[in-house]
Amino acid sequence: MLKDRKLREECGVFAIYDPEGDCARSTYYGLYALQHRGQESCGIAVNNDRNITHYKDMGLVSDVFNEEILTKLDGKMAVGHVRYSTTGESMRENAQPLVLRYIKGNIAIAHNGNLVNKDELARELSVTGAIFQTTTDTEMIAYTIAKERLSSESVEESVEKAINHLVGSFSLIVMSPQKLIAARDPWGFRPLCMGKRGKAVVFASETCALDSVGAEFVRDIEPGEIVVVKNGEIKSVKTHTKKKPHTMCIFEYLYFARPDSIIEGQAVHDSRMIAGKYLAQEYPADADVVIAVPDSGLSAAMGYAQESGIPYGMGFVKNRYIGRTFIQPSQAMRENSVRIKLNVLRSTVEGKRVVMVDDSIVRGTTSKRTVSLLRSFGAKEVHVRSSAPMFLWPCYFGTDIPSRDQLVARKYDMKGIGELIGADSIGFLSLEALGKIIPNANCGYCNGCFSGKYPVEIK
């Protein structure tokens, strides 16, 4: 059961072809850069002499892998994954990459996203004899590709055919004995980019992962595009491109992505600064200092301070050596972990009117404890600002938003939420302003979790 916590991040994918080998180590660094997208499990699969080997487990990248394991995972192609369970239970069997052996050989698959038609797809596959070993929709994608491979001349053709059966979000890496393939859903809900490092070709969820391995950004994979790498040669298949509106998940810019990443031409840090700017215009406050709830609130708080003219201050010190608050197994531990994870700089807030900027408010319970924490350190007033609009609807494309009856904005109006969390005032970014935070992006966006309007029909 989902407990009190912030939203869960997306998964992260990374893949590399490098004729010089040692791809597992590059993948390790790439996954380390993407750790913010998934802290539940991770894995790496490598291909050497047409033999795919892999290692995966529960835990952080630095805990799961060591020098001995990476040395054994030698190969000229590799695919890696960090995961949170948006669909499927939290268990080792659901860790990725998923390695599938079938009549045509073997493939490894890593996937970021969520299928809307997963139940229908599972029924269709079960009728044909599929026996599922995991509870993830990634396995359904793998079986669909394997099934289409039986009547296809190449693995990329089977991926091309499989996309006809997949509805929802998927940024996908498929590694066969000879090829590395990157594919993206026709709507482009989740990010996926390509880079180069000498003769090496790299795919990653975010550009920060390219930076971590010294790869130069080449371009984003187009929605619906399939990019095939074989022996360093790159081929693009665009059968499914430009058939759907390009609707990137807007929460990638507000929360999921690292601030130093660039997604579809838009710097994430800049988007959050812009959100903070509009938040200051829409919900000004008579205050002495602006502080952020780290880490994803930092850029928005800077934008708020810059626009309002209120000084920006460091209000919280974050302990980076403990797990996220929602991972704690008991209510008592979750209560204590807020104080363990965040401590307040008394000199910043004592006796002052404080604007506290956070990336979002989901259930409101974490915000309530954070406001209480600030008051216990002497804050005179606490004005809460959210750089995201109110969460009113579920997400069907990978964001792990609680059920509607658990969303605080479904139970209370803005004033009621403010009273619930103990704030002197509260403000949420408007939907109108939300549409202005990605001025340089080469895409539209999905804001269904805020508006209830989705680019894909939900049955």
Q: What confidence tens digit (pLDDT) does each residue in 402-435 have?
A: 678 889 999 999 999 999 999 999 999 999 999 9
Active-site residue numbers? 11
The H or E element that residue 81 is part of is: strand 77-83
Q: Which residues are within 8 A (CB) of 137 and not within 5 positions of it... i.e. 6 or more apart?
A: 87, 88, 111, 114, 115, 118, 121, 168
CATH topology of domain 269-442: Rossmann fold (3.40.50)
Query: 101 burial class (0-12, 13-18, 19+ CB within 10 angstroms)?
Result: exposed
pLDDT at 424: 98
Distance (Å) of CA 244 to CA 187, 248, 366, 417: 6, 12, 38, 37
12-244 shares its CATH topology with 269-442? no
Q: Where are the domains of the chain?
A: 12-244, 269-442
**DSSP character at residue 94:** G
CATH topology of domain 12-244: Glutamine Phosphoribosylpyrophosphate, subunit 1, domain 1 (3.60.20)
Tell me how many degrees the CA angle 445-446-447 measures, rounded to the nearest 5: 115
pLDDT at 89: 56
Dist. CA 111–CA 212, nearest whole Å: 21
pLDDT tens for the chain, 459 residues long, are 233 445 555 699 999 999 999 999 999 999 999 999 999 999 999 998 778 999 999 999 999 999 999 999 989 999 999 998 654 455 677 889 999 888 888 999 999 999 999 888 888 877 776 667 776 888 899 999 999 999 999 999 999 999 999 999 999 999 999 999 999 999 999 999 999 999 999 999 999 999 999 999 999 999 999 999 999 999 999 999 999 999 999 999 999 999 999 999 999 999 999 999 999 999 999 999 999 999 889 999 999 999 999 999 999 998 876 554 344 445 555 555 667 788 999 999 999 999 999 999 998 988 999 999 999 999 999 999 999 999 999 888 987 776 788 899 999 999 999 999 999 999 999 999 999 999 999 999 999 999 999 999 887
